[in-house]
Amino acid sequence: MLNRRHLRIKVLQSLYAYFQSVDKDMKKTENELFHGIDKMYHMYLYLLQLIVEMQGAAIDKIESGKNKRLPSEEDLHPNTRFVTNAPLRVLANSKTLKKASESEKINWSENPDLIKKEFRTLIETDEYKEYMESSERGFHHDRIYLIRFFKKHLINFEMLQDWFEEKSIFWNDDLDLVASMVIKTIKTIDEKSDDFELLELWKEDQGEKEFATKLFRNAIVHGEEYSKLIDEFTKNWELDRIAIMDIILMKMAIAEAITFKNIPLKVTLNEYIELSKYYSTPKSHGFLNGVLDKLFAKLKDEGAIKKTGRGLVE
């Protein structure tokens, strides 16, 4: 499920594309914003299917060993612990996952080399060997190791990350959040499960789509007004000398502070300072902190920023 920080990142990326574009088509960029967010659901399905593909690769390895001209004792009596991992079998046999994947045309059929290389890398890890040799049994044990395989090895496979980046330049930014959705999904599977429910991308009851829409639109519609405010508090800096990403972050922060009366100013300030550490210059976080702190104080004094809700009214 999407969280507010990730929505801020997606809006930031779209605003950067908008302000750098020649035509500056707000509606078109907004459509691309939400199309990009909705595509994260595809990444979620790809990652769930990736785990299932690991079982398929393990089965192929077992069958290949049995079909050797001179099979070894290990080939004839293979270790099937991974293939029979309980939550993995639920994933592999899930009608829900199959239906959603077929509907969205999500599969790994065109990437057999990636699957083979990922599996070969996995089975050489200490965790995989430890699991295969362990005398401990049980659903809980299987689930712990399946999550460990996924979190520590599968999503960190360089070839996989490169492939995601080719699909979308923003998908690597989405990987951590989508991976957490996969882990939550696996944790919903219990011993009595024969299927599972896929997570929803949007938390509609909490107004997440409205948050992203208003944040994006207001940063553009009131962009000139916000530029004048920023200029007022950066008198020693000409706007064209300030990093474009810093200007966009400040416009977003102002839009959020004014528009969303139930979000504490301290939360807004901290969120954009944190984003500047990852998406702007090394000195940006200190710069934004100083400018926004003074700017917010002015807007509060003028009544432009009004907070409502328990603990927000000063």
User: Model confidence over 37-93: pLDDT tens digits?
Assistant: 999 999 999 999 999 999 999 999 999 988 888 888 887 888 999 999 999 999 999
Q: Which residue in 183, 155, 180 sits closest to 87, CA to CA?
A: 183
Query: Quick one: pLDDT band at residue 26, thresholds 50, 70, 90?
Result: very high
Dist CA 83 CA 292 (whole Å): 55
Which of 1, 19, 13 shows the shortest CA–CA distance to 275? 13
Cα–Cα distance measured from residue 229 to residue 279, given in angstroms and rounded to the nearest whole number: 22
Residue ranges per structural domain of the chain: 39-188, 204-301
Residue 74 · residue 65 · CB < 8 Å = yes
Q: Hunting for tokens 């984003």 — which residue is that?
A: 275
Q: Which residue has the higher pLDDT, 28 or 310?
A: 28
Second CATH level (architecture) for the domain 204-301: Orthogonal Bundle (1.10)
Which amino acid, residue 190? D
Residue of 147, 125, 154, 202 lying closest to 46 (CA atoms): 154
Give the per-residue pLDDT at 202.
87
For the question of whether the overall pTM of this predicted structure is more than 0.75, the answer is yes
Q: How is residue 247 written in tokens?
A: 């200007």
pLDDT at 240 over 80: no
* Mean pLDDT score, 170-191: 93
pLDDT of residue 68: 85
What is the enclosing helix (H) or strand (E) of 83? none
